[in-house]
């Protein structure tokens, strides 16, 4: 078995040696999926995983735009169309200076498995740009988004590829992107998700990733006759996912004590209640400020510069910022402080060493492709509503989201339960996600 995995990874490394994040994501999948393939004749010898690590299409393009001082700026735009076996490519757009092909390929690869887990008909894709939205005016954001879409529009469509938000791309950016797509195509369609409510958006889509991450934590805790109620929760990030994860923890009776951004974290021992969370949402989404401003409004809280919140004692940790933000040392600190549950809101926030530490300690650990799938699942529900030209109520969408998160949890139990009864959610999510895509690829032949 080890030989099969090594040979496969050696080949992937040979082709993608300069892409560390992509290799990290592939390695995690290969280690759990190859043993499953070897045991199942229908998948064995078909090079399915080798086909899955090669994007169906990788698009890279120039984005030129003019900033407020009249300077011409040039950024690089991408769309990775990874796998369309079970539906149109689907996945977010990330605008962040660190964006490159490795990061987008890891995200697109994860997205294929995640979208499969949602039970909805969506293939996997991801895109974005090395554009940095921080400090840009609304007009600069608009000009950049319009320039970006003036190329992307020819590669996407409601039945081809449906982008959405990710880091640095929220409701404002989706609006500008949609406006340019509609103008160029002269079509009003569901080509993007995360749209505003009056122009095709779905209720609960903004909340869905964070809510889903907490629903998943609750399902994991229930397997141990535990729940979020009364638990102390540490959250990283202060963007879309972190904000609504915090909101759902409060709904379920937990106490949130941290939020963060790339400058550091705030610790509020008294708990970030609904009023304080409202302040954070206004600060981040309207004023576009920094999380350290929290302590000016709430002086009993502290700001810890340059650090991540994993040193704070908690029962539950929800990493909701970015990839590789929680390493082996952080994991060991969480464990020695008594943490019993980690549900990833971000994509691949835990390093390989951190995941091994959680598994060795046999705590509840959910990989992002399972626990943060609520966002893209609700994007799938937005696509359905667009096709039907109707809008479901908040309760209808939330009920469907809860049902999908429960299905994903059940699938992880089915494919991930070890002989000693421990649920390995990484193995469960990888195999369950793989089977559906692999079956579709086999049925469609070598294409």
Query: Alpha helix (H) ranges present in 40-124?
Result: 48-52, 101-117
322 contact choice in ligand 2IT, ligand NDP, none (CB below 5 to 8 Å, kind-dependent): ligand NDP
156, containing H or E segment: none
- DSSP codes of every residue in 358-403: HHHTT-EEE-HHHHTHHHHHHHHHHHHHHHHT----HHHHHHHHHH
What is the C-alpha to C-alpha distance for residues 145 and 135, in angstroms, rounded to an integer? 15
With binding defined as CB under 6 A, does residue 204 bind ligand 2IT? no
| 123 annotated as ligand-binding | no
- 73 or 160: whose CB is closer to ligand 2IT? 160
Q: Does 405 bind ligand 2IT (CB under 6 A)?
A: no
Q: How far is the CB of 45 from ligand NDP (least distance, A)?
A: 34
Two tokens at 225?
A: 């006759």
Picked from ligand NDP, ligand 2IT, none, the partner binding residue 91 (CB below 5 to 8 A depending on kind) is ligand 2IT
CA distance 38 to 434: 14
User: Which one of ligand NDP, ligand 2IT, none is in contact with 90 (Cβ closer than 5 to 8 A by kind)?
Assistant: ligand 2IT
Interface residue with ligand 2IT among 83, 118, 193, 219 (CB under 6 A) is: 193
- Torsion over CA of 93, 94, 99 and 102, rounded to 10 degrees? -50
Stretch that binds ligand 2IT, among 6-14, 85-93, 391-399, 409-417 (CB under 6 A): 85-93
Binding residues for ligand NDP (CB under 6 A):
165-168, 170, 209, 237-242, 261-263, 320-322, 325, 345-347, 372, 375
- What 3-state DSSP class applies to 58? strand
Query: In this structure, are residues 113 and 433 in contact, taking their beta carbons and an 8 Å threshold?
Result: yes
Angle 354-118-393 from CA coordinates, rounded to 5°: 120
| Chosen residue from 43, 48, 88, 90 binding ligand 2IT by CB under 6 A | 90
Instruction: Select from 222-230, 278-286, 373-381, 387-395 the region that touches ligand 2IT (CB under 6 A).
Output: 373-381
Does 136 qualify as catalytic in the annotation?
no
Q: Is 142 in the site for ligand 2IT (CB under 6 A)?
A: no
Whole-number Å distance between alpha carbons of 37 and 275: 50
Owner of token pair 């880091």: 167
Give the residue with the Cβ less far from ligand 2IT, 166 or 315: 166
Residue 347 sits in the site that holds ligand 2IT (CB under 6 A): yes
- Strands 124-129, 89-95: pairing is parallel
Please tell me whether 336 is known to bind a ligand: no
Residue 375 touches ligand 2IT, criterion: CB under 6 A: yes
Of these partners, ligand 2IT, ligand NDP, none, which one is at the site of residue 32 (CB under 5 to 8 Å by kind)? none
Helix (H/G/I), strand (E/B), else coil: 65: strand
237 binds, among ligand NDP, ligand 2IT, none (CB under 5 to 8 A by kind): ligand NDP
Order of strands across the sheet that contains 72-83: 57-66, 72-83, 124-129, 89-95, 161-164
Q: Name the minimum Å distance from CB 306 to ligand 2IT.
A: 27
Strand 72-83 relative to strand 57-66, pairing: antiparallel
- The least CB distance from residue 168 to ligand 2IT, in Å, is 11
Q: Is residue 114 marked as binding?
A: yes
Element (H, E) at 38: helix 20-39
State the binding partner of 193 from ligand NDP, ligand 2IT, none, CB within 5 to 8 A by kind. ligand 2IT
69 assigned to a ligand binding site: no
Among 105, 126, 369, 427, which one carries the catalytic annotation?
A: 126
Footprint (CB under 6 A) of ligand 2IT, residues 376-395: 376, 379
Q: Kindly state whether residue 164 participates in binding ligand 2IT, applying the rule CB under 6 A.
A: yes
**DSSP for 410-435?**
HHHHHHHB-TTS-B-HHHHHHHHHHH
DSSP string covering 305-364, please? ET--GGGS--SEEE--S-TT-B-HHHHHHHHHTT--EEE--SSS-B-HHHHHHHHHTT-E
Contact set with ligand 2IT (CB under 6 A): 90-92, 111, 114, 164, 166, 193, 347, 375-376, 379
- Binding positions for substrate are 90, 111, 114, 165, 379
Give catalytic residues, as residue numbers.
126
Binding residues: 90, 111, 114, 165, 209, 240, 379
């Amino acid at each position: 078995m080890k030989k099969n995995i090594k040979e496969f990874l050696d080949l992937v490394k040979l082709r993608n040696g300069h892409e560390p994040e992509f290799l990290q994501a592939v390695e995690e999948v290969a280690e759990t999926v190859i043993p499953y393939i070897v045991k199942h004749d229908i998948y064995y010898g078909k090079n399915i995983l080798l086909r899955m690590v090669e994007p169906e299409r990788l698009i890279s393009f120039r984005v030129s735009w003019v900033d407020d001082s009249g300077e011409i700026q040039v950024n690089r735009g991408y769309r990775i169309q990874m796998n369309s076996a079970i539906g149109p490519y689907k996945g977010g757009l990330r605008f962040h200076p660190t964006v490159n092909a490795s990061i987008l390929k890891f995200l697109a690869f994860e997205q294929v498995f995640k979208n499969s887990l949602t039970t909805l008909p969506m293939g996997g894709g991801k895109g974005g740009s090395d554009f940095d939205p921080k400090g840009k005016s609304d007009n600069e954001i608009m000009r950049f988004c319009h320039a970006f879409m003036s190329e992307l529009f020819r590669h996407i469509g409601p039945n081809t590829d449906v982008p959405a938000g990710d880091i640095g791309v929220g409701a404002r950016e989706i609006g500008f992107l949609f406006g340019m797509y509609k103008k160029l195509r002269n079509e009003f369609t569901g080509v993007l998700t995360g749209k505003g409510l009056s122009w095709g958006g779905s209720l609960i889509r903004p909340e869905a990733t964070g809510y889903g991450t907490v629903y998943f934590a609750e399902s994991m805790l229930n397997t141990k006759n535990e729940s979020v109620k009364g638990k102390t929760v540490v959250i990283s990030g202060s963007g879309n996912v972190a904000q609504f994860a915090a909101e759902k923890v409060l709904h379920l009776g937990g106490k949130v004590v941290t939020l963060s951004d790339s400058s550091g974290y705030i610790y509020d021992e008294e708990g970030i209640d609904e009023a304080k969370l409202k302040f954070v949402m206004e600060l981040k989404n309207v004023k576009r400020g920094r999380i350290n401003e929290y302590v000016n409004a709430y002086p009993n809280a502290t700001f810890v510069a340059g650090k991540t919140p994993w040193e704070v004692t908690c029962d539950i940790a929800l990493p909701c910022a970015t990839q590789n933000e929680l390493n082996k040392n952080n994991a060991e600190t969480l464990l020695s402080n008594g943490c019993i549950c980690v549900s990833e809101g971000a994509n691949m926030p835990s390093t390989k060493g951190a995941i091994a530490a959680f598994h060795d300690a046999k705590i509840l650990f959910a990989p992002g492709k399972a626990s943060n799938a609520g966002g893209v699942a609700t994007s799938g529900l937005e696509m359905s509503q667009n096709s039907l030209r109707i809008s479901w109520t908040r309760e209808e969408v939330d009920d469907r989201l809860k049902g999908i998160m429960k299905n994903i949890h059940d699938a992880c139990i089915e494919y991930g339960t070890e002989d000693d009864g421990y649920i390995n959610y990484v193995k469960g999510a990888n195999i369950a996600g793989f089977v559906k895509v692999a079956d579709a690829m086999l049925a469609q032949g070598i294409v």
